[in-house]
Structure 1
Amino acid sequence: MSLLFPYDHLEDGQYRLFKLDVEGQPGSPLSGQLITLYHPRSYAPSWKRMAKNYWNWNDMRFLERSGSGYDALSYVWGSTQGQQSLLLRMSERVWQGKTLKTKDLGHIQVPMSITANLHELLIELRRRRYDDFVWIDAICINQRDAAEKSMQIPLMRNIYEESKMVLVWLGPADEVTQGALKILPNLTKIFEGIDARTYMLDPSHLDTFTAKGLPPPDHAVWRAIGNLMAHPWFTRLWTLQEVALPQKVQVVCGKETLDWDTLAQFARATRVHPNRGWSIRRQSAAGNTTTGWDSCAMIDICRELRAANAWGMPLDSLLGITRRRQVSVPTDMVFGIMGLMAANAVDQMGPVDVTWSLPRVYVQFAQYYIHQEPQECILNHVASARRDPGLPSWCPDFSQPEETAALGSAWYYDFWIGPAQATHRFRAGWRREGPGQLPLRKHYMLHIVSNTLHRRTLTQGIYDAGDPRLMSVVPDSYRLRVRGMALDTVVAVVDGAPGSESPFTFAALSQTAAWENRCWRLAQRVLGATDDALPAPYYRTMVANQVPGLGLATFWDEHDAVPFADAYRGWRNYLAAVVAAGEALSAPAHMEAGALHIAVQMVRWTKHRRFFATRGGRIGLGPSSTQEGDELCVLWYCPTPYLLRSNAGMSEKEFVGETYVHGLMYGQALDMLERGELTEQEWIIQ
């Protein structure tokens, strides 16, 4: 963005607010003014903050007085093509009784460039004669000044929290979209009255819609809603912080305005129906896959988690939520995460500067994550299709979506598995009791008291021992020191897990059948199985031993309690039938009971993974980069086994990724260590 406006210098804890001139006639140039204030909840040291609050009492009154204050804007910058001009001037704040006014300092108005999307919003606000103070990042932060951005980005959390309202701008709207927004509450009530378990909205039968009082599936209102929920705003990382933090949020779309809760309630009411065969998402006129429904669900989770965790989201949830969002500047991913963390956690993490390189920012956050988060291991979130070349092999590229569903995570698609199920999660590197139990925090009782006072569950964070997994970043480097046991070596790999985005097309099914057959032939050689046999290690490996929906609602079948060999045979029979027919066959008509559950799990866990065999007679699922010679290891207090790779002439290892190996997922390596079959080792991972 080309900025011409001569900004004044901001001191630590200061920020600017913008006020639009509303007297302009339609078609006249936009103009407005900036004022500078102190934010009483800045990240300055406590003694400085107290001094500033004392000398800037009016600023604090302005922020905290009920009915006064400022709004904040949440929007997408959009393309830098076709930029528009805004005339801007600096003004001085003046208090008249209990009201904040401004005094023109006589400065000449200077033009600055703003994106077309922001220009459209300001035109709409001027039409509404909106003259409140508002914080807009593109205007209130000098985007040319890296030092100012480093100071203002951490302050954004407080800016949004203290705003009296956040305005979400979803762009202009035509008459159909405005009409759809007006009837949204009525649509929500109808959807809330439909039990998706017993009633299916079928777009091929209009009466399934009209019988419930809904517009027919080809009505323009659905296309308008699809386009609205496909807006880029729903995909951006910063919108999580901007909507999860404030108490009041309003959505502005064209001339229409609605409360955020109205939109979120509609998303919740309709979200279950696409899972039953009908999707408003596909009604988008552009034909794009939208993310509005999932985005609203993530924002709901953020709001609930913050309210339950002393107004800061726990680290174990942040990776699962933020990796599905997009940022324009990759390092912003960490700054966006910091905006959702508890304030004291940000202080403990230490300074992170926007001028730092991407590897330095990511390693700084990863190091803090390793030391503070025992529930969700960062090594299980490394896989991504693209990686910054400067990152060490063990550090995730946080700005990229994960290539695979993490085996060692408690996230299942877009929801967090409940604590009752989570007790059966993989724990390859620790035990629940006895030697090898996850170490407790040194200040155990103090943390219990702290959690109680902050309305957190008593178990949250109690395992924080400063080094909960016996791994740490080597000082003054990006290398990671880890300890654990080496178990085996990969000797054979089956390339090309299908990982199709459309798993029930003929092409995908035939590819899956061929790949599964190659895996089965390798497993037969390793396990010594015959064609008539189907060994449990094989079929449980192919679904990572997770079988929700089969007999028991089990995500992790820790004790192999759910028999599903017949269901897996049914899935193999269906694949064979598809290949023989030369076309995709209807799953309900041609698939045996339980086979569909296997299909769903196999697609999920084999996507972008390779099937492998080891020298010691084991089979497993590894990352897409798995190759012969990779070393199979279990690291202390980590949920899954991992693959490490040796490079010629180098003593350090390269981290390959997480694996599923049946018989090693629940502390069996620790038993082998106690029996003297293994020895503890230390590795440095580059």
Structure 2
Amino acid sequence: MSLPLYEPLTKGQIRLLHLHPKLHKAAQDPTNALLHGTLQTTTLDNAPPYVALSYVWGSSTNLQPLILNNRIIQITPNLATALSHIQNPTSEVVLWIDALCIDQSNTSERSAQVLRMVTIYAAASHTLVWLGQAGEISGLIMDSFEPASRKYIEMGEQPTTIRGSAGVIERTRRMIEQNPEIVEYYKKPSFGTMVDGYRDLVTREWWYRAWVLQEFAVAREVWFQCGRKRVRLDAFEYSMTLVGPLFYGQAHNLVSTHDWLDLKDGQIQAFHKSPIASAANGIFIARHQYKGVMEGYKPRVADLLWRFNVLSILDVRLRATDPKDKVYALLGLASDFEALGIVPDYKKSVEEVYTETVTKLLKQGHVSYLQLCKYNPHSALPSWVPDLREDIPVSPNESSSTNKPFRAGHKPNWTAFPRALPSDPRVLAIEGCRIGTVKETGDVLSRTETDPVPSLAACHQFIVQIDTYLRQTASLDICPYGASSKDIDQFEPDWFEPAQYRIPVADKEESPETGNVTRATGQSEILLESLIAVIRAYYNAMDAVANGSTTGAASFAMALKSNMGQFNNYMGMLAHNAGRRPFITENGYVGVGPKDLKSGDEAVVVLGAAVPYVLRMERNGRRVLLGDAYVHGVMDGEILEGDSVVEVFELV
């Protein structure tokens, strides 16, 4: 009877893989397997120098043989390819690989070992990142990293990662001013090919794997390998965090100056595929932040879960074979996971892990996590628990990075944050004030799967419906915004015009010069007028075409050019509301809420929350959470300033 491949580990023990050289006699097996290794059980204190492998498990079909401890096991093709490229012809390589050094069939061992992965990767002599097999030009790109990094050092640049478009644009302008020859590079036929090569490297599956974040951040030294080519971390980072933003920033400059009209289609597409919008940027940021621990900063569980599960321009949504790892893979980087009491337990269901995690975050005061919820009547999760397995876009009402964040439910010294009921952990008790019952809803602001920006027709309909609701509000005897007006064309109250340009963009405005987002100002009124001018020109062009005229297209093109930089600025902010619909409450509040919103739902300010939420009554007297909303006139805590009644709502 053969001994089991895995003997139980005692506290403090790990396993290491000794990968035999290609010329080792043990590799000359009749099965023709080229990979042969031995597992060693040891402690970190007594372990020989080893390399920690960071890779993607990949497909579990077409498994490949590995002779391990004199028995044949099957491993994924991607791991087999990685080992064949890492294997030394004449000497042994000592590795730590999760798929082989952890008994994956033992859930108790998995739970215990994942808590040790931070120390395992930190103790390795270096971490080797396997990006996969070589592509058409990946070798050329890898070879370019070292000379590119030297060039950027000469230019006085540093490989600091970028947060927000403002930094990208500013860096690009500075670099082009100092090195005007860069502009000529964009006109070369090889430009698109080079961008494709960069893009290929930073959109490979490795960058999106949940465990990568921890493995990469804690490593003392990192090398990247693609095919047979290897490059050190600093050279890779110099190129990716400087060349990538350069592409992105120059694209912005071209649009703002109309120079893009002189580019060919392939060059425009190359700009659109800039590596700055890839996962690499976010992964590098995480490493910098973790390595900055000695300077007093270390992210919390709430910070990490938000950054790496919510979709935005420069951040990353990580993937995991086991959905529970969307939480567990981030714990080792967090400063507070022990205080929160989150312990990896692979025996629990996904629903249990997500519900327990969000319950603890809400209890700690992270009420913003309710903004991540998308109503799904078929989900096994409570409506107040975000499903991290799904795509979670950034809410258009997220305002933490603006000059004046929303504070709809903020109350001084308020500490009664949402809590799950002791009798039923799937029921959440929240305290809040009613804004009003939804009276009427407009159409969903739609867009196609291939176009992230709604059409001009959809934007027009969205704006018109909001304007219609505002006119209804103005005609009320008791208007929540101030003065009433039975005839808005004859008498327009002071509140009316600001509401027109604030509501479609959730009261946010992006500076064309810096990319910074602030609360909307009078400038947004001008931007909205530019969008309306383009919409009018669009409809006139359609009418002209229908009547057989050829002048409409030219007029529309002229309107586009004269309003460029204004209408698209406002339209870009408005587009964040795609998938949402406008509404009006019975007492006259106008806003934009989730697509599932309907008459009879309740708009509520949750105490401690930055934004309002929409709830729907269930038969048992409890409510489901539909999502967050922008409600004009309550975003700065106005509801709490009056005599509003605080109620307890139970969410299921």
Give the TM-score, by structure 2 length.
0.80
Tell me the residue number matched to 1:231: 204
| 1:651/1:282 CA distance change after superposition, 3 Å | farther
| Residue 683 (structure 1) aligned with residue 631 (structure 2) | no
Letter in 2 for 1:300: F
CA distance in 1, matches of 2:558, 2:81: 49
Displacement after TM superposition at 1:219 (Å): 6.5
CA-CA distance at 1:298 after TM superposition: 0.8
* Secondary structure in structure 1 of the residue aligned to 2:631: coil
Query: For the Cα contact (< 8 Å) 2:418–2:428, is it kept in 1?
Result: yes
Q: Following the alignment from structure 1 to structure 2, what is the Cα–Cα distance between the partners of residues 282 and 318?
A: 37
1:31 to 26, 30, 36: 36
User: In structure 2, do the counterparts of structure 1 residues 407 and 537 end up closer, same or farther at CA, with 3 Å as the change threshold?
Assistant: same
Q: Partner amino acid for 1:37?
A: T
Whichever residue aligns with residue 395 of structure 1, its letter is V
Question: Residue 60 of structure 1 corresponds to which residue in structure 2?
Answer: 45
Q: 2:480 matched to 1:480?
A: no
Assess if the C-alpha contact under 8 Å between 2:530 and 2:567 holds in 1.
Answer: yes
Query: What is the DSSP-based 3-state SS (H/G/I as helix, E as strand, rest coil) of the residue aligned with 2:581?
Result: strand
Structure 2 gap segments, 5+ residues each: 158-170, 255-263, 310-316, 476-486, 543-552
Q: Does 1:640 align with 2:578?
A: no
CA distance in 1, matches of 2:84, 2:330: 32
Amino acid in the other structure paired with 2:241: R
Equivalent-residue separation in structure 2 for 1:82 and 1:683 (angstroms): 52
Q: Determine if the alignment matches structure 1 residue 217 to structure 2 residue 151.
A: no
Indicate whether 1:596 and 2:568 are aligned: yes
What's 1:575 paired with? 535
1-structure distance, mates of 2:266, 2:54: 26
Alignment of 1:354-433 (within 5 A): 354-374=346-366, 377-383=368-374, 389-405=379-395, 407-408=397-398, 410=400, 417=401, 421=402, 424-430=404-410
Deviation at 1:217, TM superposition (A): 3.3
Secondary structure in 2 aligned to 1:144?
Answer: coil
Separation of aligned partners in 2, 1:372 and 1:504 = 35
The answer to whether the aligner puts 1:353 opposite 2:353 as a matched pair is no
CA distance in 2, matches of 1:586, 1:82: 57
- Confirm whether residue 333 of structure 1 aligns to residue 326 of structure 2: yes
- The aligned residue for residue 109 of structure 2 is 148
Question: Residues 97-119 of structure 1, C-alpha deviation per residue, up to 9 Å, x if partnerless?
Answer: xxxxxxxxxxxx01111111111
- The answer to whether the 8 A contact 2:533-2:559 is kept is no
Residues 207 and 279 in structure 2, CA contact (< 8 A), matched pair in contact too: yes
Q: What CA distance in whole angstroms lies between the structure 2 residues aligned with 1:427 and 1:520? A: 25
The structure, 1 or 2, with the larger RCO (C-alpha pairs under 8 Å, 6+ apart) is 2
Deviations 1:112-157 (A, max 9, x none): 1111111111111124656342111111111222222222222222
Q: 2:458: which partner in 1?
A: 511
Give distance in 1, aligned partners of 2:119 and 2:607.
Answer: 38
Matched, 1:617 2:583: no
**CA distance, structure 2, for counterparts of residue 313 and residue 535 of structure 1:** 42
Q: Indicate if the aligned counterparts of 2:195 and 2:273 stay in contact, CA closer than 8 A.
A: no
2:290/2:298 contact within 8 Å kept: yes
Alignment of 1:553-564 (within 5 A): 555-557=517-519, 562-564=522-524
Shift of 1:615: 0.7
2:412 pairs with one of 428, 431, 437? 437
Q: C-alpha separation between the residues in 2 aligned to 1:531 and 1:404?
A: 37
> Deviation at 1:316?
4.4
Indicate conservation of the 8 Å contact 2:122/2:218, yes or no.
Answer: yes
Kindly indicate whether the alpha-carbon contact (under 8 Å) linking 2:429 and 2:649 is maintained by their aligned counterparts in 1.
yes
Residue 232 of structure 2 aligns with which residue? 259
Q: Does the 8 A contact of 2:195 with 2:270 survive in 1? A: no
Q: Partners in 2 of 1:566 and 1:287 — Cα distance?
A: 29
What letter matches 1:491 in structure 2? K
8 Å CA contact 1:16, 1:135 repeated in 2? yes
1:216, CA displacement in angstroms?
3.5
Which residue matches 1:446? none
1:83 is displaced (CA, Å) by: 0.9
Inter-partner Cα distance in structure 2 for 1:283 and 1:214: 8
Q: Is the 8 A contact 2:359 2:419 kept in 1?
A: yes
Counterpart of 1:667 (choices 631, 637, 644) is: 637
Query: After the TM superposition, which of the residue ranges 523-532 and 567-576 deviates more from structure 2?
Result: 523-532
Distance 2:498 2:602 in 1: 24
Name the SS for the 2:600 alignment partner: coil
Helix, strand or coil for the counterpart of 2:115?
helix
| 1:452 aligned partner | none
Letter in 2 for 1:632: A
Partner of 2:130: 169
Q: What secondary structure, in the 3-state scheme, does the structure 1 residue paired with 2:212 have?
A: helix
Aligned counterparts of 2:194 and 2:145: Cα–Cα separation in 1: 10
Indicate the RMSD between aligned Cα atoms, in angstroms.
Answer: 3.6
Native 8 Å contact 2:145 2:231 kept in 1: no
Structure 1, unmatched stretches of 5+, are 39-58, 63-67, 90-108, 202-206, 411-416, 431-435, 440-467
CA distance in 2, matches of 1:160, 1:190: 31
Q: Deviations over 1:614-670 (max 9, x none)?
A: 1111111111211111111111111001111102x2111111111111211111111
SS at match of 1:17: strand
Correspondence for 1:535: 497
1:236–1:327: 8 Å Cα contact kept in structure 2?
yes
Structure 1 residue 8: Cα displacement: 1.1
Q: State which drifts further: 214-223 or 566-575.
A: 214-223
- Deviation string 1:29-73 (CA, Å, 9 cap, x unpaired) is 3110111123xxxxxxxxxxxxxxxxxxxx4254xxxxx632211
Contact between 1:24 and 1:30, CA under 8 Å: does it hold in 2? no
**What is aligned with 1:317?**
303
Task: State the alpha-carbon separation in 2 of the partners of residues 641 and 145 from structure 1.
Answer: 45
CA–CA separation in structure 2 for the residues paired with 1:126 and 1:143: 23
Checking the alignment, whether the CA contact within 8 Å between 2:148 and 2:238 is kept in structure 1 is no
Letter in 2 for 1:496: V
Q: Residues 132 and 30 from structure 1, CA distance in 2 versus in 1: closer, same or farther, beyond 3 angstroms?
A: closer
Q: Secondary structure in 2 aligned to 1:196? A: helix
Alignment match, 1:448:
none
AA aligned to 1:658 is D
How far apart are the structure 2 equivalents of 1:551 and 1:638?
A: 32
What is the one-letter code of the residue matched to 1:520? D
Secondary structure at 2:603 match in 1 = strand
User: If each structure's helix is expressed as a fraction of its own residues, which one has the higher value?
Assistant: 2
Contact 1:234 1:291 in 2 (8 A): no
Following the alignment from structure 1 to structure 2, what is the Cα–Cα distance between the partners of residues 88 and 561?
Answer: 66
Q: 1:388 to 1:301 in 2, by over 3 A?
A: farther
Structure 1 residue 197, shift from structure 2 partner: 3.0
Which residue pairs with 1:295 in the alignment? 279
Matched, 1:547 2:547: no
The 3 A distance-change label for structure 1 pair 585 and 474 is farther
Q: Are residues 359 and 660 of structure 1, via their aligned partners in 2, closer, same or farther at CA, if it must alter by over 3 Å?
A: same
Give 3-state SS (helix, strand or coil) of 2:609's partner.
coil
SS at match of 1:477: strand
Distance 1:551 1:21 in 2: 58
SS in 2 for 1:250: strand
